[in-house]
Amino acid sequence: MDIAFLMPYLVHFVVLYVSVGVIYLVYKYKSRAATPKLPPGRKGLPYIGETLDYVLASRRGTPEKFVTDRNTKYSSDVFRTSLLGEDMAVFCGAAGNKFLFSGQNKYVTSWWPRPMKKAFLDPSSVDNSSAEESTKLRAYLPSLLKPESLQHYVPVMDRMAKEHLDQHWSPYNQVQVFPLSKKYTFSLACRLFMSVRDREEIEKFAKPFSIATAGLVSVPIDLPGTTFNRAVKAGRVIRQELFALITKKKNELLEKRRTVASDLVDNMLLDGMTEIEIGNKIVGFFIASHDTTSTAITFTVSYLSDYPDVYNKVLEEQMDILRSKGPEEPLRWEDIQKMKYTWCVACEAMRLAPPANGAFREAITDFTYAGYTIPKGWKAFWTVHSTHKNPNYFPDPEKFDPSRFEGNGPAPYTFVPFGGGPRMCPGKEYARLEILTFIHNLVTKFKWEKLNPNEKISYIPSPIPEEGLPIKLQAA
Ligand code: HEM
């Protein structure tokens, strides 16, 4: 049979077949090229992701392992994980820190984990964007943290440190440093933020606060018995107490029993803010300021007892300052500027035991870093753990050596306990004053030794000495 008449059909068929194949291959190639190359890493278990790995590494006292293991495994300055129910890119090294710090509002914006918002913010504000809440929070800081206010706080902090030591340390031979330094920083915040001085009233806030902060980095499962659930309930109690206090202060101002602002809450009331807005902000200040500063104080005290030569140099510096003053004369701003070596010691303590692990951001656009795409909506995390103990930045990283901070100090973006860039901790100077006034009073009054030199440290998420750092006290 002559099949020549079929040839045109066959040719058409082959051409069509080949064309479809080519179109398919081009489409496949293009769509592959368009698929973003995500950072290496894994998402872990559904919903909880790798949160448990992170929590376990932290509880074992080695949160840096979570970061350094993955950093090494993937040989990449950014890796993918999933924490707190979110897709997340963890940025590593000085370059990663620099990129996130300076990418604010260009690539990333503020983001707070949902447990934090749900435990601490009023329900009406939980759905506000974190960027909105963060901007509002920062807007109020200048009045609290402007240089004149800070200078004015030094004698107040000095007086409160003395009172605290007289009440809670002097009567005893043995004390636990961690809970006491928390008590001190909490009382100071109550005094400076809202003029609360009464011990019972302070306790009303302190207890639920410690429960709520424990839930800050927890898996957000709101079922009875979970850490998150306890945190949410404690948050409710704090807001009720705060609401009552703010309303009382508002009435005093309305009835003109007081006409001048005496603290941060008054300032906000006089600016016409609502009770809910003020409550959210005060809670934000407490979270940011209280556990961080008390942790820095605790580990400075701990390292001072491990290194007698460092302790002696600190004592010498502080005694010189004490001798330069009259008997009842309080510390002043100028005295703080002389505490240079003591600040190097506190910095070295914060390098090895950082009070904050890092902070989160949210990608506001797709962007590329180190050859990988971070998709819009992903969360990003910069962390102290990729630089503070990295031997490339800090030789012999486990060694406690305050001289690292003398002269030019560490390379940029490597020592980042307070973050960096436009969102760097606005309370850094306040914290420096608080830590230094406390250490001044402590070393000029006491000598101490650790009762358990091998006490375990776990991170929840800040470092915590598991027995509260018990020490034996002696008069200096
Ligand atoms: C040793 C003590 C402290 C440490 C280590 C510390 C560390 C940090 C860190 C790492 C951040 C996140 C920065 C970022 O998002 O990149 C931060 C934010 C913040 N800190 Fe501190 N902080 C300390 C004390 C304080 C104090 C005493 C205050 C207030 C009086 C304060 C107020 C804040 C506020 C309001 C923010 C949020 C800023 C924002 O959302 O943009 N901090 N801090």
Which residue's alpha carbon is nearest to atom 6 within ligand 1? 418
Residue 424 CA, closest ligand 1 atom number: 13
Give residue 119 CA to ligand 1 midpoint distance, Å. Answer: 18
What ranges make up the beta strands (E) of 320-425?
358-363, 367-369, 372-374, 379-383
> Higher-confidence residue: 32 or 395?
395
Residue 144 CA, closest ligand 1 atom number: 30
331 pLDDT more than 90: yes
Give residue 144 CA to ligand 1 midpoint distance, Å. Answer: 14
Which residue's alpha carbon is nearest to atom 24 within ligand 1? 289
Number of domains in the chain: 1
Site to probe by mutation for ligand 1, drawn from 351, 352, 425 as the one with most ligand atoms within 8 Å of Cβ, is: 425
Is 111's C-beta closer than 6 angstroms to any atom of ligand 1? no
Residue 23 included in any domain: no
Is 356's C-beta closer than 6 angstroms to any atom of ligand 1? yes
Predicted local distance difference test score (pLDDT) of residue 137: 62
Residues 6+ apart with CB under 8 A from 280: 120, 121, 122, 125, 133, 136
Residue 16 included in any domain: no
Is 100's C-beta closer than 6 angstroms to any atom of ligand 1? no
Provide mean pLDDT across the span 311-332. 96
CB 83 within 8 A of CB 220: no
Nearest one of 327, 278, 270 to 444, comparing CA atoms: 327
Q: What is the dihedral of CA 106, 110, 114, 117, to 10 degrees?
A: -150
Mean pLDDT of the chain: 87
Of the candidate ranges 99-113, 141-155, 389-403, the one whose mean pLDDT is the lowest: 141-155
41 pLDDT more than 60: yes
130 pLDDT more than 80: no
φ, ψ (nearest 5 deg) of residue 358 = 155, -160
Site to probe by mutation for ligand 1, drawn from 292, 416, 459 as the one with most ligand atoms within 8 Å of Cβ, is: 292
Residue 326 included in any domain: yes
Helix (H), strand (E) at residue 239: helix 227-254
Predicted local distance difference test score (pLDDT) of residue 53: 86
**DSSP 8-state code for residue 459:** E
pTM score, two decimals? Answer: 0.88
Of the candidate ranges 103-107, 172-176, 340-344, the one whose mean pLDDT is the lowest: 103-107
Provide mean pLDDT across the span 262-269. 86
Residue 431 CA, closest ligand 1 atom number: 27
Q: Which domain holds residue 132?
A: 51-475
Of the candidate ranges 20-34, 89-103, 335-349, the one whose mean pLDDT is the lowest: 20-34
Give residue 50 CA to ligand 1 midpoint distance, Å. Answer: 26
Is 288's C-beta closer than 6 angstroms to any atom of ligand 1? yes
Give residue 443 CA to ligand 1 midpoint distance, Å. Answer: 26
- Tokens, residue 325: 């003053």
Q: Which CATH number do you get for residue 197?
A: 1.10.630.10
92 pLDDT more than 80: yes
- For 45-75, write each residue's pLDDT tens digit: 877 888 888 888 887 888 888 998 998 899 8
Residues 6+ apart with CB under 8 A from 168: 175, 180, 183, 184
Residue 434 included in any domain: yes
C-alpha span between 108 and 344 (Å, rounded): 32
Give residue 288 CA to ligand 1 midpoint distance, Å. Answer: 5
Q: What is the dihedral of CA 325, 327, 328, 334, to 10 degrees?
A: 10
Provide mean pLDDT across the span 239-268. 86
Place of tokens 């913010």: 121
Which residue's alpha carbon is nearest to atom 30 within ligand 1? 427
Confidence of residue 435 (pLDDT cuts 50, 70, 90): very high
> Higher-confidence residue: 294 or 118?
294
Q: Which residues pair with 298 in a beta bridge?
A: none
- Tokens, residue 288: 């940011």
Residue 192 included in any domain: yes
Is 57's C-beta closer than 6 angstroms to any atom of ligand 1? no
Residue 421 CA, closest ligand 1 atom number: 16
Is 384's C-beta closer than 6 angstroms to any atom of ligand 1? no
Is 418's C-beta closer than 6 angstroms to any atom of ligand 1? yes
Residue 114 included in any domain: yes
Give residue 254 CA to ligand 1 midpoint distance, Å. Answer: 33
Confidence of residue 125 (pLDDT cuts 50, 70, 90): low
- For 417-432, write each residue's pLDDT tens digit: 999 998 899 899 999 9
126 pLDDT more than 90: no
CB 384 within 8 A of CB 416: yes
Query: Residues within the annotated binding site for heme?
Result: 425
Which residue's alpha carbon is nearest to atom 32 within ligand 1? 427
Give residue 327 CA to ligand 1 midpoint distance, Å. Answer: 35
Q: What is the dihedral of CA 20, 23, 26, 29, to 10 degrees?
A: -60
C-alpha span between 51 and 379 (Å, rounded): 14
Of the candidate ranges 10-19, 90-99, 303-312, the one whose mean pLDDT is the lowest: 10-19
Give residue 294 CA to ligand 1 midpoint distance, Å. Answer: 13
Q: Which residues pair with 450 in a beta bridge?
A: 471
Work out the percent of the chain whose per-residue pLDDT is above 70: 85
CB 46 within 8 A of CB 219: no
3-state secondary structure of 450: strand
248 pLDDT more than 50: yes
Residue 317: Cβ within 10 Å count? 20
Provide mean pLDDT across the span 207-230. 79
Residue 14 included in any domain: no
Is 239's C-beta closer than 6 angstroms to any atom of ligand 1? no
Is 228's C-beta closer than 6 angstroms to any atom of ligand 1? no
- Tokens, residue 321: 């300052």
Give residue 331 CA to ligand 1 midpoint distance, Å. Answer: 25
- Which of the given ranges, 8-17, 25-34, 207-216, 390-399, has the highest pLDDT on average? 390-399
Is 138's C-beta closer than 6 angstroms to any atom of ligand 1? yes
Confidence of residue 458 (pLDDT cuts 50, 70, 90): confident
- For 340-353, write each residue's pLDDT tens digit: 999 999 999 999 99
Which residue's alpha carbon is nearest to atom 27 within ligand 1? 289
CB 314 within 8 A of CB 436: no
Is 419's C-beta closer than 6 angstroms to any atom of ligand 1? yes
1 pLDDT more than 50: no
